[in-house]
Structure 1
Amino acid sequence: MNTIVEPTLNPATAARTRARHVRHVAAGGGSVSFDLAAGDRVTLTDPEGLQPGHLYVAGPAGAAQALLPGFAVEAVNTASAPAFAQALLAAAPAGWTLARAEVFGAEGLPGAQVDLNAPRALRCALHAPGEDMQPDAQNAPTELIADIECAEPVAGIAPPPLAPPVLDLRIGAGTAQAYRVKAGDYIQVIDVDGRQCSDFLAFDAAALAQGQEYDLDPTTTRTLMGSASPGPGLLNKYYDERQVPLVEVIRDTVGRHDTFMLACSAKYYDDMGYPGHANCSDNFNNALEPHGVARRAGWPAINFFYNTIVNHDDSISLDEPWSRAGDYVLLRAMTDLVCASSSCTDDIDPANGWNPTDIHVRVYDASNNFSKGIAHRMTPDAAPKLTRETGFHARTSALTRRMVEYRGFWLQDSFSSNGPIDEYWACRERAVMIDLSALRKFEITGPDAEALLQLATTRNIRKLAVGQIVYTALCYEHGGMIDDGTVFRLCQNNFRLVCGDDYCGVWLRELAAKHNLRVWVKSSTDQLHNLSVQGPKSRDILREIVVTPPGNASMDELKWFRLTVGKIDGLPVVVSRTGYTGELGYEVWCHPKHAVQVWDAIAKAGEPHGIAPMGLAALDMLRIEAALIFAEYDFCDQTDPFEAGIGFAVAADKEDDYVGKAALERRKAHPARVMVGLDIEGTELVAHGDPIYNGRAQIGQITSTTRSPILGKTIALARLDVSAVELGATVEIGKLDGHQKRIKAVQVKTSHYDPTKARVRA
C-alpha cells in the first residue's frame, strides 16, 4: 500500500496562478521546494527568529551566485545531498549543478528577511534544519517562508498531484464533464486559479447500468449526517435516497461550500435577464446523456467552493468563494460511480469572482492511503495546514473511531469500550488519561521575555517564581479576550505559554516588535504533546513511574500550579500539576516521538488503579461542573475576563501597564454582564446560546451546559445583565421562539461542584 501522510499543504513545485503572489512554507525541521522563472522576486522570511535556514539552488554554473549576491555559496555534492535537494536535479537540463547558501543564522531576529531576484529559471529548496526539542528545552525548530512575486504569472496550472493519478481531467471554464470512478478510488476536485465553483454529481454505476438513477440525495444526507455540509472524518459521507453511501469526504482545504442547492440552471439566467446563458444544469445534461441519465431542468449537487450566506432573516445570498488557487476537496468513492463535475458558468455575480476559470479533477487509485483533514489558516496570508494526528494517536485511534477535528488535530470524543458517562466517573473516582496535545505552546525567551508577558497578560508575571505556573487572560485594548492560558516560568528569562489559539503567537510577536522588545516567541506545538492524567488516583499512578533528579520536586512534593522535570521509562518529560477537570491532576509533556511509550507506561502503572482513557465529551461535563471556561462558548473577543467569570485572573496589584488595562479598569468599575451558574429545573435539555428571560425581556444567554452525573441535574454557565444577577433568583430559559416555552432555572455560584477547590488542591 502506498501510504501518504500529508500534514501540511506545501506542493513540491510552485503552482503558477493568475495571482502574482505565491507562498511556500518550510516547516521547522523540514523543507519546501519551488521553481523560479527569470525575473521573479523572492522574499525569504524567518518569522519567529533563531531559525537557521539553507537555500539549495539547482541551475547552470554561476546561477546560484547570481541569485545570492553577498552570500557565501558552496557547491553541493549531489550524491551526499539530502533527498529533497537531490530531487531538484530530477529532469533538470544537462549541466545543471547544485549549490547551497546559509540565508539565516541561529541568532536571527524575528521577522528577518532576505530579498532575492531570479536571474533565470531555477529550481530551489528552502530548508529549516533543527533537532527534536526536549520537553524542558526551548529550541523548537520553526518555519521559514518563501514569498514569490511572479514576473509573468501564468493562469491555469494545477498543483502537483497527490500521487500518480489514474485520471487527469481538465474541465474548461463554463463546461462540465462526466467520468467513471471505481469503488475505493479517490476523487480530487481542484480549484485551479481560485474563487471558482464546481458542482459535483455522482450516480451508482451498477444501478445506472440497469436503468435506475440513484444519485446524491440532499434530504437523506442531511438527515443521516445531522449536518448540511459533511466534512472530513470517519463518518462524514454523502448518501443516495436508499441511504447507501456514495462518497466519503477525506480532505477539504477550504471549509466553505454549499450542499444541495441546485446547480445553476436556465431559469436563473432567464429571471436575471440573460436568456440563453450557458448553465451548469444543461452542461450536466449534455455530459451525462451518453451514460443514459435523463435530462433535468436543475440538478441538486454538492456545490464545491460556493459561498452561500444565510442571513439573519433566513434569506440566502452569496459572495465570492473562499477558495484560493490550488485548493481542493478529496473524496473517496464508496461504490463504482458515474460522476460529473462542472466549472460553474456564472459570470453575472460574485459566485465565481465574476470570472469563470478552470476546474481540475484527478482520480487516484484505491491503494493510496490519504490522511483525513480540514485545512486551517492562522491568518489570511498563512499557508494552510491539514488536520494532523497527535503523538498519542496510535493508541487513541486503536480504542475508538469517535474522533473529532479540534483546532487542527484529531482528538477522541469518547472511547468505544466505555462511553462518556463511564469516563466521567472514572475521573471522579479513579483516574483517566486525556490527549490534549492540540493545546498551542509557545516558547518565550530573551532578555525582555518577562517584559513582554507583563505587557501581554492580565497577571503580574514579575511575581511568578521559577517552576511556577499561572493562569491568565490575554486581552485586546478594548478589554475583549484573545484567549486564556497558562504561563510556565522555566528560568529567569524563559517562559512557556500554553493556550488554545495559534494567533496568540502572532499577536505576541507583533506586540514585541511594536515595543522594541528583544524577545523570541517560537511555536513548539508540534514538538511538545501532552497527556493529562486526572483523578484522585493520579498522584499514586505517577508516583510509581516519574523519576525526578534530587533537586526537582517529586510527585508527592509537587504543588498545585507547579512543574517538575523528570523521566518516565527513561524518556524526558515535564510534569505540571495542572488540568481542566476540577480534580487532582497532572499533565505530562513529552516529545511526540515518545508519546506512545509514555502512554503505555502510564496505562500500565494505572491499570491496578482502574485508569481509563477519556475523551472530550466527558471532559466537557467535568469542566462545566468546575466552571472552567471554553473559548467561543464562555468567552470571545467581545467578552472581558470579568464577564467570562475569571476576574480573579486580572491582577489587582499590577501597577505596570498592559494591553487592555484601562478598558478592564473601566469595565470592572461599571460591569454590564456577569457570569453566573444555573441549576435548571426538570430534565429537558438546554443548549449553548439559548436566551434567558425575565418576563418578556431577554437578560442573558447560556454559554455552556451539561447534565451533571454527580449532581443528578442539568446545570449551566450563563452570562446575565448585571441588573438581573441575584443568587437564588429564578430566571427562565426560552425555547422554541423564546416565548412559547420556558424552562425555569435558579442562579447559583459558577462552580457547581467543589467550589472551594478542595479536590484539585488535595
Structure 2
Amino acid sequence: MTYIFKPKDDIESPNKLYYPGFHFANDSQFKELHCREMCELELSKGSLIKLTNSDGGAPVLIFAVSKDNEDAASLLSTHELPPTKPNYHAFNTSPLLEFLAPKKGAIENISCRSVFDETTLAGDSYVIRCLDELTLFLALPIQENSIEKGGGGTVLIEHHFKGSSESHLPKPLGKVRQEIHIDSGTGQSYEVKAGEYIQVIDIEGRQCSDFMAVSHSALKAGKERYIDSTVTRTMVHRSYPAPGLCDKFFDQDMQPLLAVVQDTVGRHDTFGLACTARGYEERGFPGHVNCSDNITNAYSAYGIQPRKAWPAINFFFNSTIDMHSNHLSSDEAWSRPGDYVVMRALQDLICVSTACPDDIDPINGWNPTDIKVRIYSEDSNIARAIAHRPFTESEYNMTVESAFHPRTSALTQSFSVARDLWLPNHFEATGAIEEYWACSQGVTIQDMSALRKYDIIGPDAEALLQLAMTRDISKLSLNRGFYTLICSETGSVIDDGTLFHIGPHLYRWCCGSEESGRQLKSLAEEHGLKVWIKSLWSAMPNLAIQGPKSRDLLAKLLFVQPTQPLLENVKWFGCTIGRLYDRNGPLFMLTRSGFTGELGYEIFCDKESALPIWDALMKEGEEFGITPIGSEALEIKRVEAGLMIAANEFPPTVDAFEAGLGFAVDMKKEHFIGRAALERNATAPKIKLVGLRLQGNEIPHHGAPIFIGRNQIGTVTSAVRSPELEQVIALARVAIEYSPEGTVLEVGSLDGYMKRQVATVCSFPFVDPKRERARA
C-alpha cells in the first residue's frame, strides 16, 4: 500500500511540482520498505524522514553510520530511544554489510533502535530528524513464525531533503569513471569504451534527454555509423512508436552498439527526432535552442557531419500512439526525480546526451531542468533490471532475483519479468514441450514467487473478506481454501486468487496483484473494521509442485505435527503447515492448489528456507524424474485447463460472468462489492467466454478478432497449441448469440479480412473437463 502525505508547512518547498495521484515534491522522495528488506538513505544535516506504517504492527529497525563507518545514532533525533538487539536473520543485512566492508566495519558495532511495535495501527507515522550528515539504514524484519501465525508489512518512507536538487541522485551502481553534468538546454559529447556502462539520470524529474552514439571504429575508418532506428526496429522486431526501450540498439551495418541494462521509468520514445530548429520555427519560435543543433555542435570536434535533424533515443519522452488513428502525440514525462536508464556499450562509442530545452510543450513539464550522466567501468557488473510499480503513484522497485534463482539460473539463461522478479521461461535441457509432458505424466517444480500474498488478521477479518470477496467466507473451515474474486462496484474483476483459512481470525490471500491489498485496506477503513492487512511482498517465496507424482514426492519429505492435517488428508484446496523431513526442518505452508489442471501442490516458505527446500525436492524427486518448468509450459497447461488470467480473460471492462468466472461468484450471499451489478448484468448477458478449437497450426494472438462473415463478434483472449490434443485451442469472448457449442466462427488476421482460420465453439476445460486429475 502507498499513502501519499503532504509535508507540514515548516518543510514545504515553495516550488513544489504536483502530478495527479502522486506528490511530486522537488525536495522529497518516496520509497516503500517491505518486510525482510533493508534500504539505504544518504542524509544531510536537517533532513527529515517520515515513516508511515502502512500495514500496522510492524517494527522498523534504525541503523545510523557516519562517514567513518562509526555508529552515528547520536546524530538522529531517535538517539534517546533505547538500543535493541536485532535478529539479523529476520531481514536482509546485505546493504549494511556491503557499506561497512570497504573499511572493515563490523555490523555489531552499529547500534540499533526500533520504532513502532505490535500495537502500531495502520497509518501511524514517526518523524526522524537528522542532526548531521550520515548514512541511514532502515530494516523491516519479518515476524517469527510468520508462515503459520501471519506477518508481513509495508512502511512508506518519505525523505525530505535539505540541500541541492542533486540530493535526488541515485546511489552509484558501481565504480564511476566519469560524471558529467548537462545544464538545461545544452548537450555534451563523451567517449565510452566497450563494456563500460552509461547511466543517464533525470535529476529533477520530467526532463527529456536525447541520446545518440556513433561507432568509434567506423569513424576511424571514415564511415559514420550511429544508432539507426529502422535497423534497430528490424533486428529486435519492435514496432514504432511505442513507449519504452528496445533491448539493443544497432547501427546501419546491423552491428550492436548498446544494450539496455536498467530502466526505472519504462516510457521513452524510440525513435523520433531530437527537437529541431524547424520544429520551433513553424510554431513561431525562430532561433529557439534545440537538441539537434546541440548534438551537431557536440559532435563537431570529431569531424562528424552536421545535421539539421538528428534521430535520437528520447529518454524520458512520453510518446504515445492512438491505436485507432495512428496519431503520434506526447504528454508530460513519467520520470520522477532521480529516475534513470543504464546502457552497456558493446563497442567503443562517441556519445552525446542533451538536456532538452523545450519549454513550450508538456514533455518537460514546461520547465526544462538538468541531466546527469555517469560512466561506470567495465568491472562494475551492473545487474539487469527494470522498474516495477504496483500503482502509478508508487515508488519503483527494481526487478530482482527470486530466492530460488541460484538454482534456476544454473539451468537456464532464459528469464522474463514477472512483476518485480526474474523468473524462467523454459529450461535449456528440456524446453517447453518436454516440460509440458513432464507435468502431465510425472512431477514438475516451478518458481512461482511473483504471486502476491497478504495476511488478513484480526477480529473483523471475516467481516472484511465477506464484504470484499464473491464467495461465502463463513463456510471456510480451518486448513481449507477456495478460489474467489474481488470485484468492483461494476462487477468487473479487480483481482482473483486463493484464500486460505490458516488460523483463528487469520486468512492468507494469494493473488495476482497489489490492487487486492489497496482494495481491502480501503474497505477496512471505510467500514471501520478492526483488521490488519499485511503485505508479505516477496518475503514468502513459493514453488508449484505439479503432476500425477507430486503427492508421492511430497510424502518422502513432509513432516507435520499432530495438530495439522496429514498429506493424505489434504484435499483439493486444503492446506497444512509442515516441515522438511522432521520437527526441526525448515517450516513451510503446503497447499493443494496450482495453475496446471493436474494434481498438484504449492509450497510457501521463508526466504532462508528456499534453497534447502528446492534441493530436497530435487534430490527426492530424482526417483520420479522431477523436471523444472518455466512460464511457457505453464501457459499451455493453463489454457488447456481453461484457467483465466487478468488482462486476457478479465480486463477491467469485463465483469466476472463475462470473464467465465461465474463459478467463483456466490449469488446466495446477501451482499458483497459488485453483487448488484452482477445480478443486473446476469439477466441479459451480452458476451460469454467460450472455448475454440481451430483448424490448422497457426496460433492466433491475444486480441485477434473473431468474425461471422464481415461482422466482428468477439476476440481471442488466449491461444496455444495443445500437445495432448494435437490442435490449436483458444479461449475467446464472443457475442452471446454465437456462444452455443458447435457454432462455426472465423478468426481473422491480415486486418481480419484477408486471412481467416476456421474455429468451432466448444466447452472448456479442453482437457479433463471434470477436473478429475486435480481432485485425484
Give the deviation of 1:123 after TM superposition.
4.9
Structure 2 unaligned segments of length 5 or more: list them: 1-12, 17-24, 67-71, 104-108
Q: Deviations over 1:634-672 (max 9, x none)?
A: 1122222211111010013323x2111111211222222
Number of the residue aligned with 1:169: 180
Number of the residue aligned with 1:483: 495
What is the aligned-residue identity percentage? 41
Number of the residue aligned with 2:602: 587
Structure 1 unaligned segments of length 5 or more: list them: 1-14, 92-96
Is 1:610 aligned with 2:625?
yes
Mapped to 2, the partners of 1:429 and 1:101 lie a distance apart of: 54
Mapped to 2, the partners of 1:22 and 1:525 lie a distance apart of: 21
Aligned-partner residue type, residue 683 of structure 1: N
Number of the residue aligned with 2:512: 500
Number of the residue aligned with 1:317: 329
Number of the residue aligned with 1:545: 557
Number of the residue aligned with 1:413: 425
Mapped to 2, the partners of 1:346 and 1:590 lie a distance apart of: 51
Q: 8 Å contact 2:215–2:226 — kept in the other structure?
A: yes
Mapped to 2, the partners of 1:723 and 1:367 lie a distance apart of: 63
Q: Deviations over 1:450-484 (max 9, x none)?
A: 11111111010110010001100111111111110
Number of the residue aligned with 1:12: none
Is 1:572 aligned with 2:587?
yes
Give the deviation of 1:149 after TM superposition.
5.0
Task: Sort the Cα spacing of 1:481 and 1:129 in 2 relative to 1 into closer, same or farther, 3 A.
Answer: closer
Task: Sort the Cα spacing of 1:87 and 1:372 in 2 relative to 1 into closer, same or farther, 3 A.
Answer: closer
Task: Sort the Cα spacing of 1:637 and 1:138 in 2 relative to 1 into closer, same or farther, 3 A.
Answer: farther
Give the deviation of 1:106 after TM superposition.
2.2
Mapped to 2, the partners of 1:722 and 1:650 lie a distance apart of: 20
Q: Deviations over 1:76-102 (max 9, x none)?
A: 99xx9x9959989x99xxxxx999764
Number of the residue aligned with 1:6: none
1:360-509 equivalence runs, <5 A: 360-509=372-521
Number of the residue aligned with 2:347: 335
Is 1:668 aligned with 2:682?
yes
Mapped to 2, the partners of 1:364 and 1:471 lie a distance apart of: 48
Number of the residue aligned with 2:30: 23
Matched residue count: 731
Q: 8 Å contact 2:331–2:362 — kept in the other structure?
A: yes
Number of the residue aligned with 2:751: 737
Task: Sort the Cα spacing of 1:133 and 1:704 in 2 relative to 1 into closer, same or farther, 3 A.
Answer: farther
Mapped to 1, the partners of 2:157 and 2:354 lie a distance apart of: 33
Root-mean-square deviation (Å): 3.1
Look up the SS of the partner of 1:212 in the other structure. coil
Is 1:746 aligned with 2:760?
yes
Q: Which stretch has the larger CA shift, 425-434 or 376-385?
A: 376-385
Mapped to 2, the partners of 1:119 and 1:651 lie a distance apart of: 54
Q: 8 Å contact 2:179–2:374 — kept in the other structure?
A: yes
Task: Sort the Cα spacing of 1:28 and 1:540 in 2 relative to 1 into closer, same or farther, 3 A.
Answer: closer
Match 1:628 to one of 633, 643, 647: 643
Aligned-partner residue type, residue 707 of structure 2: Y
Number of the residue aligned with 1:353: 365
Mapped to 2, the partners of 1:135 and 1:535 lie a distance apart of: 28
Give the deviation of 1:602 after TM superposition.
1.2
Number of the residue aligned with 2:703: 689
TM-score, length-scaled by structure 1: 0.90
Is 1:225 aligned with 2:240?
no
Aligned-partner residue type, residue 557 of structure 1: N
Q: Deviations over 1:17-52 (max 9, x none)?
A: 9724322444434244343654x6653210011111
Task: Sort the Cα spacing of 1:140 and 1:668 in 2 relative to 1 into closer, same or farther, 3 A.
Answer: same
Give the deviation of 1:266 after TM superposition.
2.0
Aligned-partner residue type, residue 265 of structure 2: V
Task: Sort the Cα spacing of 1:73 and 1:566 in 2 relative to 1 into closer, same or farther, 3 A.
Answer: closer
Number of the residue aligned with 2:4: none
Number of the residue aligned with 2:9: none
Task: Sort the Cα spacing of 1:346 and 1:513 in 2 relative to 1 into closer, same or farther, 3 A.
Answer: same
Task: Sort the Cα spacing of 1:137 and 1:156 in 2 relative to 1 into closer, same or farther, 3 A.
Answer: closer
Q: Which stretch has the larger CA shift, 562-571 or 437-446?
A: 562-571
TM-score, length-scaled by structure 2: 0.88
Mapped to 2, the partners of 1:520 and 1:492 lie a distance apart of: 14
Number of the residue aligned with 2:57: 50
Match 2:43 to one of 17, 35, 53: 35
Give the deviation of 1:628 after TM superposition.
0.4
Mapped to 1, the partners of 2:168 and 2:570 lie a distance apart of: 58
Match 2:307 to one of 293, 296, 319: 296
Give the deviation of 1:240 after TM superposition.
1.8
Number of the residue aligned with 1:510: 522
Task: Sort the Cα spacing of 1:515 and 1:126 in 2 relative to 1 into closer, same or farther, 3 A.
Answer: farther
Mapped to 1, the partners of 2:743 and 2:284 lie a distance apart of: 60
Task: Sort the Cα spacing of 1:443 and 1:58 in 2 relative to 1 into closer, same or farther, 3 A.
Answer: same
Task: Sort the Cα spacing of 1:342 and 1:439 in 2 relative to 1 into closer, same or farther, 3 A.
Answer: same
Mapped to 2, the partners of 1:588 and 1:155 lie a distance apart of: 45
Q: 8 Å contact 2:183–2:369 — kept in the other structure?
A: yes
Is 1:524 aligned with 2:573?
no
Number of the residue aligned with 1:598: 613
Give the deviation of 1:716 after TM superposition.
0.7
Is 1:214 aligned with 2:225?
yes
Is 1:236 aligned with 2:247?
yes
Give the deviation of 1:592 after TM superposition.
2.2
Mapped to 2, the partners of 1:341 and 1:160 lie a distance apart of: 20
Mapped to 2, the partners of 1:282 and 1:139 lie a distance apart of: 60
Q: Deviations over 1:229-271 (max 9, x none)?
A: 89999x9322222222211111100000111211112222222
Q: 8 Å contact 2:48–2:130 — kept in the other structure?
A: no
Number of the residue aligned with 1:264: 275
Q: Which stretch has the larger CA shift, 194-203 or 566-575?
A: 566-575
Look up the SS of the partner of 2:689 in the other structure. strand
Mapped to 1, the partners of 2:42 and 2:179 lie a distance apart of: 22
Look up the SS of the partner of 1:199 in the other structure. strand
Aligned-partner residue type, residue 240 of structure 1: D
Task: Sort the Cα spacing of 1:752 and 1:141 in 2 relative to 1 into closer, same or farther, 3 A.
Answer: closer
Q: 8 Å contact 2:691–2:763 — kept in the other structure?
A: yes
Look up the SS of the partner of 1:178 in the other structure. strand
Task: Sort the Cα spacing of 1:228 and 1:199 in 2 relative to 1 into closer, same or farther, 3 A.
Answer: farther
Q: 8 Å contact 1:128–1:143 — kept in the other structure?
A: no
Mapped to 1, the partners of 2:549 and 2:45 lie a distance apart of: 63
Match 1:698 to one of 676, 700, 712: 712
Aligned-partner residue type, residue 744 of structure 1: V
Q: 8 Å contact 1:19–1:153 — kept in the other structure?
A: no
